[in-house]
Structure 1
Amino acid sequence: MLGKPQRITRGIDYRMVVRRGARRAGETHVVHVVDTGEPRPPRFGFIVSKAVGNAVTRNTVRRRLKAICLEATPSLRPGADVVIRALPASAAAPFADLRRDVARGLARKAGA
């Protein structure tokens, strides 16, 4: 599980990343990335709206995205802030497809 130092928790940080970050859209998500240049591990935030599904579905998608980001952390730039917005297709996507799609987006925008 992503530890507290690896999570974006404040609304102002979410807005800054989404507004100013480089964006890459995939089939199941949209990745926004800002390189802060700070000497710290990358931080992640997740946006999973009601369009994705009910509460159980949204939490499942969020847990899957967290697991994928934890695996990808070693290959990301230090100081990167990443916000992933899940699209409705992420609810029905198998985990392997979701992992491949998100990893492709992270490698392009936040890779070291």
Structure 2
Amino acid sequence: MKKIYRLKKNADFQLVFKRGTSVANRQFVVYQRKADDNSEFRVGLSVSKKVGNAVTRNRVKRLIREVIRELKPRLKMKKDYVIIARKPTADMDFHEVKKSLIHVLKRGKLLDEKRRS
């Protein structure tokens, strides 16, 4: 993901946690908040040590980034997202991750259904 699409600073994460809303399923929690200044969306990822070792956590993050890249045209703009992966994601393949993320994003009405990728 390009830098303009990333949330990196702790202060940005905390702002989304405190002032945003969340939606969840068994595999993911997605926090979202209307962004103040940028016209694009930004995504922050959080994969805790409970998910697995460093190799597993990095694999999960790569899968999530690829799903976000594919869903980019459908994601609502001018929002900051924080995606937290839960333990079951360690055993999932790409298609399961994509299906689960689409499910949770639809639950939160964060996907623009008019635009298809």
TM-score by length of 2: 0.87
The answer to whether the 8 Å contact 1:37/1:78 transfers is no
Higher helix share: 1
Q: Which residue of 1 aligns with 2:34?
A: 35
1:14 aligns with 2:13: yes
Q: Residues 18-67 of structure 1: CA distance to partner in whole angstroms, max 9, x if unpaired?
A: 22221111121100011226452110000001000000000000000111
Q: Distance in 2 between matches of 1:50 and 1:39?
A: 31
Work out the CA distance in 1 between the residues paired with 2:38 and 2:4: 12
Residue-pair matches, total: 111
Alpha-carbon displacement from aligned partner over 1:51-93 (angstroms, at most 9, x marks no partner): 0000000000000011111111111221110000010100012
Task: Report the Cα distance in structure 2 between the residues aligned to 1:25 and 1:111, rounded to whole angstroms.
Answer: 14
- Structure 1, gaps ≥5 residues long: none
> Any gaps of 5 or more consecutive residues in structure 2?
113-117
- Give me the TM-score of the superposition, normalised by structure 1: 0.91
Aligned to 2:100: 101
Partner of 1:82: 81
3-state SS, counterpart of residue 72 of structure 2? helix
- Alpha-carbon distance between aligned partners in 2 of 1:108 and 1:39, rounded to the nearest angstrom: 24
